[in-house]
Amino acid sequence: MSATALTAGLRAGPVDTVHPLLVRQRPATGEPHLRGLLLHGLASGSSVWDSVWPNAPGGVEAWVADLPWRGDYVSAWGRQYQETDWMASCLDAVPGGVDVVIAHSFSANLLMEFLSRQAARGADPYAEYGIKGIVLVSPFYRRNADDFAWDAIAGMQQDFLKITEEGIRLRPGRPIDPDIQRRMARRVCERAGPYGWMRFFEVYLRTPWLRTDLIPVPVLVVTGQQDFAARESETLAADLPQGALRVIPECGHYPMAEHAERFSAELDRFFATFLPTPRSA
């Protein structure tokens, strides 16, 4: 397994011993003809995709990222004064370009923001990185600024706690006692802290101004029926020029973990719509 590590210019200290961004390659199953990059959400990690691999579509050369907002680094990332465009850094770390980007939750929003911002500046990020399709898993999206009410702020904090607890519950291994699970989730939220939380909330608040019209490639939006933002995924899919929606029944914020086989089948069907010719590394 190869790995690419990228570091940002941080103030000297213990945190510098840990790379903010790690991009690793997973071996392809079968002859690779599609290169994919998988991005996890806030206070999570690349292990969130582990349940996908036993059912992964054949011929996919997968690259997985551990991003600066992963669980063991989120506090340091949230407190960084200067903003780094980690989406560009992540895409640059994959040699030969990326056919499809699969992004979960917070990373889905960052990806859309990055691509639309680059396109608005006159660049063509799709040609630059070779992106032919995108999969957005459980994204956050509101079409109008008035959709954000004052009372929603406190509710979203509680939703984040519930999402974190759900992610812990779905980890492979023996079941965790519900009380321990709840305490673990609270600890993760405390680690993210107000700075990490505000980074997420600022991105969420900007979604009414997201230039969805500048994301012209096929986009599959996947959400769980029980995810609190499921209706937002429906709205987003409708606003994307080539958006398609898949709602997985009896599923929450982590369809790739909770219903890995169904999730992988949806990926397989989506990939078949734009499979490229075999490409060289």
pLDDT on residue 17: 55
pLDDT in tens, the chain (281 residues): 344 444 333 333 344 457 899 999 987 666 778 899 999 999 999 999 999 988 888 788 999 999 999 999 999 999 987 778 999 999 999 999 999 999 999 999 999 999 999 999 999 999 999 999 999 999 999 999 999 988 888 888 888 888 898 888 888 777 888 899 899 989 998 999 999 999 999 999 999 999 999 999 999 999 999 999 999 999 999 999 999 999 999 999 999 999 999 999 999 999 988 765 544 44
How would DSSP label each residue in 17-41? GS-SEEEEEE--SSS--EEEEEE--
Domain of 176, in residue numbers: 3-7+18-271
78 in a structural domain:
yes
In the numeric block, the tokens 């405390």 are attached to 190
pLDDT on residue 22: 95
Q: Label the pairing between strands 21-26 and 60-66.
A: antiparallel
Q: How far apart are CA 109 and CA 91, in angstroms?
A: 15
Residue 146 backbone dihedrals phi, psi, to 5 degrees: -70, -10
Torsion sign (Cα): 228, 135, 237, 67: positive
What domain count does the chain have? Answer: 1
Q: How far apart are CA 122 and CA 56, in angstroms?
A: 35
77 in a structural domain:
yes
198 in a structural domain:
yes
pLDDT on residue 59: 82
CATH code for the domain in which residue 229 is found: 3.40.50.1820
Confidence (pTM):
0.90
102 in a structural domain:
yes
